[in-house]
Every structure is written in structure tokens, then in C-alpha cells.
Amino acid sequence: TQLLEQSPQFLSIQEGENLTVYCNSSSVFSSLQWYRQEPGEGPVLLVTVVTGGEVKKLKRLTFQFGDARKDSSLHITAAQPGDTGLYLCAGAESGAGSYQLTFGKGTKLSVIP
Amino acid sequence: EAQVTQNPRYLITVTGKKLTVTCSQNMNHEYMSWYRQDPGLGLRQIYYSMNVEVTDKGDVPEGYKVSRKEKRNFPLILESPSPNQTSLYFCASSREAAKNSPLHFGNGTRLTVT
């Protein structure tokens, strides 16, 4: 199983600040997904990136897939308390016959009003 | 409403007493999977199923069983639970193999084994 390292593990910021979280691996992924998990609920998909260098925007959230498809970042502009949650990246191994996602351990974000 | 339903949400049991956590999806998804989530360890896959009657081990299958007799249901069975199986469990499904389509998660089952 390929490893996905997420950083930072914990992040506490004031409302209105910007932040970036990272998802890194030494392996190549055919695609990478970002999920957000709120307390008491299951993870919910935010975005999937599939092309090296791809950038996707979801309102104040910007997702980028690295050129070599080994890493990804999530940037949040002007964070709001509603952004609080656990952010998980999940990668699909590159190559035929791979059917599983590998999850990072997550970044726990707290946005303080 | 499209959803993955797990039951129960909370379960406290004793060592050795067999239990089943049910999972059902109403989206006609082919792929289903069970994960456990533990502090500091993240989400780890227990078992997955590519389709009816097809199941395979994930990263941490020891102590668990699954079955996929119908497309919509994927129960998780603990034949003889032990305290190290105390965890938060999630069932998930996707239209096809998880690498190609997003996972839809249930709301979790918090299991405590004493």
C-alpha cells in the first residue's frame, strides 16, 4: 500500500485567514481525491484531480495536483468556521489492476470565529 | 435520497460476543468497502467488494468477515470481538472501482468492546 503523508496534522486559525494543507507521496497516483469529514459524519468528497498540474476551484477552496502526480495541495482563502473539519486526501495507485484508494491520516482544521 | 445506511450508530459489547454491523446503499453501486478509523492511524480498509459474491481483503482484515449476497448490502461480521477492535467503522460505496469514482460514506458505527 502506498503512503500518503498529510501536513500539517493539526491547524487552528482565525476566521478570515488563508491556509494551505499538503498531501505528499513518493509514489505516482493516477488520481487523487479530497474529502472533508465533520464530527459525527462520514467523509464527503470535495474534488477529484486526475491530470498532473491540474487546478480545480470550489468557491474559496483551490486544489492542485502536482506535475508529477505525487503530491497535492488544498488552499483555503478567507477561512470560515464552516470550513472546520478533518480534510483527507486519498490516492488511487497508478497501474492496471489497482482498485483501492489509499487515505492519508488527515489534517484537522479548526477555524475560530 | 441517495445514501449509505449503517446500523447501529453506537454499539457497546463484550469480548467474544458475535456482532454484525449492517450496511445498505440505495444507489445500485457495484463497489462497497469497510474502513475503520482510529486516532493517529487514519482510515484503514478492512474488506472490499467489487460486486455481488466478490469480496477481498483490505489492509487490516484480521478478526473480520464480510459477505455480499445482494448488491445493496455489505454486512461486517465480528465473530469474536476483542478490545483492539474498538473503533469507528465506516461503510462506503461507489459506482465502480473506488479508484475511478468517488466514495459515498455512511455516518459511521462507533463500536466499543470491553
Q: What angle (nearest 5°) sits at the alpha carbon of residue B9, between those of residues B28 and B91?
A: 35
Q: Mind spelling out the 3-state secondary structure of B10-47?
A: EEEECCCCCEEEEEEECCCCCEEEEEEEECCCEEEEEE
pLDDT tens-digit map of A61-73: 999 999 999 999 9
pLDDT tens-digit map of B24-64: 999 999 999 999 999 989 999 999 999 999 999 999 999 99
Optimal mutation site among B103, B104, B107, B110, interface A, most CBs of chain A within 10 A: B103
Report the candidate in A38, A111, A43 with the shortest Cα–Cα distance to residue A79: A111
Question: Taking residues B66-78, what's their average pLDDT?
Answer: 97
Interface of B with A (CB under 8 A): 4, 31, 35, 40-45, 48, 50, 58-59, 90, 92, 97-100, 102-108
pLDDT tens-digit map of A16-49: 999 999 999 988 888 899 999 998 899 999 999 9
- Residue A112: per-residue pLDDT: 97
Beta-carbon contacts of A83 under 8 Å, excluding residues fewer than 6 positions away, are: A60, A76, A109, A111
Report chain B residues whose CB lies below 8 A from the CB of A92.
98-100
- Residue A48: per-residue pLDDT: 93
Name the residue among B35, B41, B98 with its Cβ closest to that of A105. B41
- Residue A102: per-residue pLDDT: 87
